[in-house]
Amino acid sequence: MMTGKRILLIIGGGIAAFRALELIRRLRERGAEVTPVLTAAAEQFVTPLSVSALAASKVYRDLFDLTDEAEMGHIELSRSADLIVVAPATANLMARMAGGMADDLATTLLLATDTPVMIAPAMNVRMWEHAATRRNLATLRGDGISVVGPDEGAMACGEFGAGRLAEVPDIVAAIEARFAGGPLEGRHVLVTSGPTHEPIDPVRYIANRSSGAQGTALAAALRDLGARVSFVTGPAEVPPPARVDVIRVQTAREMLEAVTDALPADAAVMAAAVADWRIENASGSKMKKEGGGAPRLDFAENPDILASVCRSEARPALVVGFAAETDDVVAHATAKRARKGCDWIVANDVSPATGIMGGSENAVTLITADGAEIWPRLTKTETARRLAERISGALT
């Protein structure tokens, strides 16, 4: 399936760079055309001559090489491939990618491209676990970049842990899977995310502390498995992921309308933190404090979007709800699953001490017809990948 596919391989600077030579050989064995790009740091570990010999191709190295620019400008080079692979992707290179920097040939190519990008990270375990690297990884995933690895094991520096470059056969398999389209190719998944804002007057509203990070990560993870994602989002703190169909809303009623319009779908993942109530007597102009005491606010119940999807004639084959609770989490979530009529509920404890609401991590319990399955505390990106894989397994 790789015959004739054009792969632009960017080799980052790290001891794992030597394994890029084996990657080139394996890709060419499968019929791929490999165009290599060496960073300046990579040249400390592998030579342009060895890379060129294995790739049977010119090696690109310098952003300001006038000959290269005359033969194939960096813009054309960045867009002439079917896939861009960065292996190894060092912590420094990932940080520059996440920051949108373009200070050498590799980062300029990555910023100027509209071609799909895959990275294979490799670095010291402490660097991999550092909060900055985790933030950069989440940003890159949200930008639509797929990630393979890293593995866990002994490192050249003498430490042990996560951060080893994925094995070459695993990288090759990930590239083949990318060209194959992924297990959810041809499937349509609806994802809701973020809070809703229910107006009190033109400048005030009722909301909640949801950042939208978990729903955004889920949309990206499902997209990476090949699904066409309709992403209905309230006014979230985090930007929506790339390469999904984004429908922005403000209120619960707007979200219900957008969700209804997005059906039918193969699955619906209802991760939005929808306000339960709205202000029935919202003012069309700013309310003034004139010494007469607080205004009276009349509350009305918002539509139940999850239940509406479950009762719809266009009900997806799999409906996943979310339950953010502060006490008796499993009991409340189990009751919610039965009451709403959804297939699964993803429950979590959002009491203030957990730091989950608005934070970067999640600790969930997946509730299905088979019972409650407790998951470990993970980043929201890792939680999303795990749930996306379960959804994929249920649909395929």
Q: Find all residues with CB under 8 Å of 7, minimum gap 6, and list them.
A: 27, 32, 33, 34, 35, 81, 82, 83, 84, 85, 175
The answer to whether 305 is a known ligand-binding residue is: yes
Catalytic residue among 1, 157, 317, 338: 157
Q: How far apart, in whole angstroms, are the C-alpha atoms of residue 9 and residue 20?
A: 9
Residue carrying the six token digits 């920097």: 101
Q: How far apart, in whole angstroms, are the C-alpha atoms of residue 316 and residue 187?
A: 11
| 251: Cα separation from own chain's centroid | 24
CB atoms within 10 A of CB 372: 15
Q: Are strands 277-279 and 299-301 parallel, antiparallel or unpaired?
A: antiparallel
Residue carrying the six token digits 């090696």: 59
The answer to whether 116 is a known ligand-binding residue is: no
The answer to whether 336 is a known ligand-binding residue is: yes
Q: Is 22 in contact with 165 (CB distance < 8 Å)?
A: no
Q: How far apart, in whole angstroms, are the C-alpha atoms of residue 168 and residue 163?
A: 14
The answer to whether 276 is a known ligand-binding residue is: yes
The answer to whether 304 is a known ligand-binding residue is: yes
- The answer to whether residue 157 is catalytic is yes
Q: Is 85 in contact with 7 (CB distance < 8 Å)?
A: yes
Q: Which backbone phi and psi does 381 adopt, to 5 degrees?
A: -65, -45
- Residue set of the binding site for CTP: 276, 286, 303-306, 322, 336, 340
Active site positions, annotated: 157
